[in-house]
């Protein structure tokens, strides 16, 4: 069963990697198999959030932002599958802060009770912009609620990870004392169901640098990670780290979907090439 950690214990584990000049990796796991494999490969954190459910069932991750399921219940269901196969790596549970059927304390207690040592704001309205975002905020569905969720999680001795999309959101999370912030630059490109209109690496680096500068202004202890868009391979993540100061990466499609698709198709095709005597 997955071991649970205090917030300071997770902070110490991550800082230990950084002190040794080791790249920090958090991986989203949509099934227990992925969780087991990435732990054996040395991952630092395993995230359990609803987008992984859709990704590992053959759909694009972005379905996790649509009204097609209960995000918080999905996380609790996934945790029941993943907690038993993980041994030492801290689990980070996704919480949708805007669920009107449960308050933040209830969500936090449920995720903690499921075996997680931290939380992440997935899904997030940071993923939404334009008129729809303004309409949401006009009725109180604001990014500030996600910041408030993080503050409550810290009070409950949970490690906190936040996705952000803009410098303003980044500064809000850093000011609240969030332990790790991942600059998100869009749906990951590549593979069968990846984004076909992702931004380029130069734009990704520029956007991440703006977010990271906003974070450093508020809290220079925050651990900075990158995620999404054109950042697909280890080489991409290394380039972004060199250009922005990111010390790690959040893997999702880049590890549990994109490398799997060609491998499964290839072995299937080779089996079908067998001729009968």
Confidence of residue 197 (pLDDT cuts 50, 70, 90): confident
Provide the pLDDT for residue 121. 98
pLDDT level of residue 201 (50, 70, 90 thresholds): very high
Would you say residue 258 has pLDDT above 90? yes
Which residues pair with residue 120 across a beta bridge? 94, 161
Asked if residue 189 has pLDDT above 90, the reply is yes
The pLDDT of residue 1 is above 90 = no
Q: Which fold has domain 7-272?
A: TIM Barrel (3.20.20)
Q: How confident is the model at residue 100 (pLDDT cuts 50, 70, 90)?
A: very high
The residue ranges of every structural domain in the chain are 7-272
Question: What region does 40 belong to: left with phi over 0, alpha with psi -120 to 50, or beta?
Answer: alpha
> Taking residues 188-200, what's their average pLDDT?
91
How far is residue 184's CA from residue 119's CA, in Å, rounded to a whole number?
A: 17
Per-residue pLDDT reduced to its tens digit, 229-241: 999 999 999 999 9
30 CB contacts (<8 Å, ≥6 apart)? 51, 52, 53, 54, 55, 56, 57, 78, 256
């Amino acid at each position: 069963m997955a071991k649970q950690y205090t917030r300071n214990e997770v902070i110490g584990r991550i800082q230990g990697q950084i002190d040794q000049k080791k790249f920090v990796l958090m991986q989203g796991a949509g099934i227990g198999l992925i969780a087991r494999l990435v732990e054996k490969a040395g991952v630092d954190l395993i995230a359990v959030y609803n987008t992984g459910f859709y990704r590992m069932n053959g759909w694009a991750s972005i379905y996790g932002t649509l009204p097609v399921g209960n995000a918080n219940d999905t996380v609790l269901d996934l945790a029941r599958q993943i907690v038993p196969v993980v041994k030492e790596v801290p689990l980070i549970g996704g919480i949708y802060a805007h669920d009107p059927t449960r308050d933040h304390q209830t969500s936090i207690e449920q995720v903690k009770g499921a075996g997680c040592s931290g939380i992440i704001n997935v899904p997030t309205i940071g993923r939404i912009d334009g008129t729809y975002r303004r309409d949401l905020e006009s009725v109180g569905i604001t990014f500030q609620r996600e910041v408030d969720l993080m503050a409550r999680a810290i009070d409950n001795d949970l490690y906190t990870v936040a996705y952000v999309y803009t410098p303003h959101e980044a500064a809000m999370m850093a000011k609240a004392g969030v332990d790790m912030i991942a600059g998100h630059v869009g749906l990951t490109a590549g593979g069968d169901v990846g984004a076909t209109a992702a931004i380029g690496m130069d734009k990704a680096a520029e956007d991440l640098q703006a977010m990271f500068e906003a974070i450093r202004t508020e809290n220079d202890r925050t651990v900075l990670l990158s995620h999404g868009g054109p950042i697909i391979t280890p080489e991409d993540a290394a380039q972004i780290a060199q250009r922005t100061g990111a010390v790690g990466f959040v893997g999702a499609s880049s590890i549990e979907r994109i490398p799997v698709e060609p491998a499964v198709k290839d072995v299937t095709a080779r089996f079908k090439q067998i001729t009968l005597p």
